Amino acid sequence: MSSIRLPFWLLVFTAALWPHAVNARRSYDYGADTSSILKRQIPGIYPVTGIPTGQGPGGSVPLRQEIRTLEQDPTTWTLYILALDFMQYTNQSELLSWYQVAGIHGRPFEPYDNVQPTSGNGHNGYCTHVSILFPCWHRPYLALYEQVLYDLIQNIASMWPAGATRDQYVAAAVNFRIPYWDWAAHPPAGQSILPSSIGGSPTVTVDGPSGEQLIANPLWDYEFKPLDISQGGLPDAPFNQWRTTMRYPTTKDGSAVSQNNIMMQQLDNNANSLRSRLFNLFTSSQSYSQFSNEAWYNGVDPSSGHDSIESVHDQIHGLTGGGGHMTYIEYSSFDPIFFLHHAMVDRCFAMWQVMYPQTYVVSEPARYSSFTNSAGGMQTSSSDLTPFYRDTNGDFWTPDSVRTTETFGYAYPETANAPGADLFTQVVIAINNLYGASSTAQKRDGSLGSSTVQRREPGTQYSEWIANIKVEKYALGEPFFINLSIGDNFVGSHFVFTKAATSDCSTCDPNQFIRASIPITDALMSETSCGKLASMQPADVKPFLASNLKYTLTRVDSQEVEDGEVPSLTITIVSANVTAPVDECQLPVWGEVVGHLISKGAE
């Protein structure tokens, strides 16, 4: 467990010369005509079927692995990189090209597979945000993406010359499932939360059917081919300037390059906060309505958790975008990191479903319009998840029909349903070990949790402190960060994820509130250890926070927002006595959540 393993990327990736513009980008040359691959053979409906082949451990369906784990399997990794490359270089007019599949989510606001917009909604993507459908809609979306890569991989594996090597690739191909990127677990010792395969180099050497070649790294960015700046493409600045997807772009013109090194720092700065946030979400959020999406509505029950998987997901969009594509709802999915991130979101959903199997979609009105839904229209467990066809009759997937991942032929390591498996315990152990702070938790590198050990002894009570945020999503008509600090120490932040200011948001309800939480327990613990705070009890913490907790609002371009510009913002400090689990098979038990301080205004 604790031995140091040479990371596989050292063997695969060329020396990192970033930030560095990529001239002479190239795709893998198979030395053969591959133009018929990914062309849809039969016109008509293209259903999302899931993948019927392969076998996972102990007879479960095949697993979506964490990206660093997948990388340890050079055969499957090579197929994955080649398939991404192929999809990205497929003509943008093809239904199964990167451009078209990514384009379902937001821009270019064109019908996919001929699924037309409903009246007045043509200036939206299909994706459903701040919606009871949020985790459900993204499930068949990822299944479509996975299916396209899977089909490509079967073709690619068969291109090796006949023999043992080809047999090995063909055998690996049937088990292929897309990886997820765990942005919350401790990374391997000495490494960043951001895997080098994603942000380490703009090029990659891949040993494919025609030998070793240096190609553009398909996890680094996507190059538009060509960049369509017409009304039916990406007409608004700066997206009409950027020929590739951007992360922390240096400029807003065509000379921009990505700064993955800044993205890495930002993710690492926020890693502890994300980990606690996910742990709190998993252990305290018990109702699907509250877990699934960030909408604030009358009747939100603070004792069932104030955060949501969508809110946590928003923070990753902010941290990976830095003003580039991931920062904006309607451009984000072109960046290859989008699908790695959303596979993680789907995994969190699947793990949460194992713990709380009884609760699911209830009818709620849509808060915002999408390509086929109007704001205010009812969304239910039998709503169509457009444009994802279930069969060639024209039926769509619905929340009821996407409730388990096995429907699409995959599971995650924690949800692998082998005969005899105790799924609940399997998931709880993973949550404690990967995201928990109790002393039973082991980090991924095998070491025990360090500074956190003393205060969360098994079976004892500790005080969990949280800042609950309530704010209008379109308060600024553009995305922004809400940051908390104690004195000069950064405590955590939340990113309010919106469309770009240039987008038509005439139907975006400016008064729709969203929810999010920032854990502050760790920050308070540090204050007690250096003597500035006497105890974690409310009698000490309340006056301490009243004079030391500050918040700032920052726009994506780092400009600070003046106090008073977001009058809808409320930050409520709450605490609960939590009993740490006695062992890794139990969840912590949350006591009553008590409110203490409100930043301003009133709930």
Ligand X SMILES: *[C@@H]1O[C@H](CO)[C@@H](O)[C@H](O)[C@H]1NC(C)=O
Binding residues for ligand X (CB under 6 A): 91, 93, 225, 266, 269-270, 463, 481, 483, 493, 537-538, 552, 554, 558, 575-577, 594
Q: Which lies closer to ligand X via its Cβ, residue 127 or residue 482?
A: 482
Q: Which lies closer to ligand X via its Cβ, residue 179 or residue 218?
A: 218
Q: Which lies closer to ligand X via its Cβ, residue 295 or residue 576?
A: 576
Q: Which of 63, 133, 82, 597 is nearest to 361 (CA)?
A: 133
Q: Which lies closer to ligand X via its Cβ, residue 227 or residue 453?
A: 227
Packing angle of the helix pair 134-157, 164-173 (nearest 10 deg): 170
Contacts of 248 (CB under 8 A, 6+ apart): 258, 259, 260, 262, 263, 321, 322, 323, 324
CA dist., res. 143 & res. 327, Å (int): 23
DSSP result, 192-238 = -SS-HHHHS-SEEEEEETTEEEEEE-TTT--B-SS---STTS--STT
Q: Which lies closer to ligand X via its Cβ, residue 270 or residue 290?
A: 270
Amino acid in the structure at residue 223: E
Contact criterion met (CB below 8 Å) for 446 and 560: no
Q: Which lies closer to ligand X via its Cβ, residue 362 or residue 594?
A: 594
Packing angle of the helix pair 260-284, 521-529 (nearest 10 deg): 100
Contact criterion met (CB below 8 Å) for 244 and 53: no
Q: Which of 289, 446, 262, 459 is nearest to 367 (CA)?
A: 289
Minimum gap (Å) between residue 480 Cβ and ligand X: 9
CA dist., res. 257 & res. 101, Å (int): 24
Q: Which lies closer to ligand X via its Cβ, residue 119 or residue 558?
A: 558
Q: Which lies closer to ligand X via its Cβ, residue 225 or residue 473?
A: 225
259 C-beta neighbours (distance < 10 Å), count: 19
Q: Which lies closer to ligand X via its Cβ, residue 488 or residue 603?
A: 488
Q: Which lies closer to ligand X via its Cβ, residue 157 or residue 576?
A: 576
Minimum gap (Å) between residue 124 Cβ and ligand X: 26
551 C-beta neighbours (distance < 10 Å), count: 18
Q: Name the CA dihedral angle for 316, 365, 506, 476, rounded to a multiple of 10 degrees.
A: -40
CA dist., res. 338 & res. 332, Å (int): 7
Rounded (to 5) percent helix, strand, coil in the chain: 30, 15, 55
- Relative to beta strand 364-365, strand 549-555 is unpaired
71 C-beta neighbours (distance < 10 Å), count: 21
Q: Which lies closer to ligand X via its Cβ, residue 60 or residue 575?
A: 575
**Backbone conformation region of residue 477, classed left if phi is above 0, alpha if psi is from -120 to 50, else beta:** left
Minimum gap (Å) between residue 366 Cβ and ligand X: 29
Minimum gap (Å) between residue 97 Cβ and ligand X: 9
Phi, psi of 154 (to 5 degrees): -60, -40
Q: Which lies closer to ligand X via its Cβ, residue 65 or residue 463?
A: 463
Q: Which of 345, 74, 334, 319 is nearest to 192 (CA)?
A: 319
Q: Which lies closer to ligand X via its Cβ, residue 184 or residue 429?
A: 184
CA dist., res. 365 & res. 415, Å (int): 31
Q: Which lies closer to ligand X via its Cβ, residue 75 or residue 577?
A: 577
Contact criterion met (CB below 8 Å) for 576 and 592: yes
Q: What residues pair up with 106 in beta bridges, in sequence order?
A: 108
Minimum gap (Å) between residue 180 Cβ and ligand X: 22
Contact criterion met (CB below 8 Å) for 346 and 407: no
Contact criterion met (CB below 8 Å) for 379 and 364: yes
